[in-house]
């Protein structure tokens, strides 16, 4: 099996962050990552009482429009995301599925009254994108405080954890990618 990891801009994420993310995903997973334009109906995902966007509806729309060669598809948005049981989410993924979404909204310094810092935003975005994609490859939350699969409830927790998988998560991911992509897959530098 071959495939690509598509990154879909939703609403108005900065182009520089879209390029950064596709390059970083290619490097981290050893799988080609490309930007992909799709029509996402945000009206279906918007909750007017919360003034937020239901990330599960966005995942469903990504899946319905995913190209045939999709290994994984990641939405990148600047919108405030939620799922009904939580106040907000940085992202959401299907455990063992193909789709994930991540938002810049709560990763920006400006939301916390601090000056803009796009380098810090990209570092946070990378961690959350890798984390959500890790879930699509069956990885669960990890207890290792430095592992990118560590759960993050607050932005400070994202800053604290690393952008790499711990040895156990890396080994599991490598096995899953080899199963999915066959012998041609060479272990990437996670």
Q: Helix, strand or coil for residue 185? A: coil
Q: Which residue has the tokens 């938002």?
A: 103
**Tokens describing residue 142:** 């990890």
Assess whether 132 carries a catalytic annotation. Answer: yes
Q: Which residue has the tokens 């998560």?
A: 169
Q: How far apart are the first and last CA of the chain?
A: 20
Residue from 132, 156, 157, 170 carrying the catalytic annotation: 132
Cα–Cα distance for residue pair 100/165, rounded to 1 Å: 18
Catalytic sites, residue numbers: 132
């Amino acid at each position: 099996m071959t495939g690509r990891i598509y990154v879909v801009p939703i609403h108005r994420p900065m182009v520089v962050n879209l390029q950064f993310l596709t390059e970083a995903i290619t490097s981290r997973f050893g799988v080609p990552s490309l930007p992909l334009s799709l029509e996402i109906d945000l009206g279906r995902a918007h909750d007017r009482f919360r003034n937020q966007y239901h990330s599960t509806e966005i995942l469903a729309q990504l899946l319905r429009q995913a190209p045939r060669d999709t290994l994984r598809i990641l939405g990148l948005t600047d919108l405030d995301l939620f799922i009904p049981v939580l106040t907000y989410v940085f992202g959401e993924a299907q455990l063992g599925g193909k789709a994930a979404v991540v938002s810049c909204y709560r990763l920006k310094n400006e939301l916390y009254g601090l000056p803009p810092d796009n380098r810090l935003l990209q570092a946070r975005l990378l961690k959350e994108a890798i984390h959500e994609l890790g879930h699509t490859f069956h990885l669960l939350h990890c207890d290792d405080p430095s592992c990118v699969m560590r759960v993050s409830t607050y932005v400070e927790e994202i800053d604290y954890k690393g952008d790499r998988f711990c040895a156990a998560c890396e080994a599991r991911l490598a096995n899953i990618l080899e199963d999915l992509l066959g012998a041609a897959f060479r272990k990437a530098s996670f």
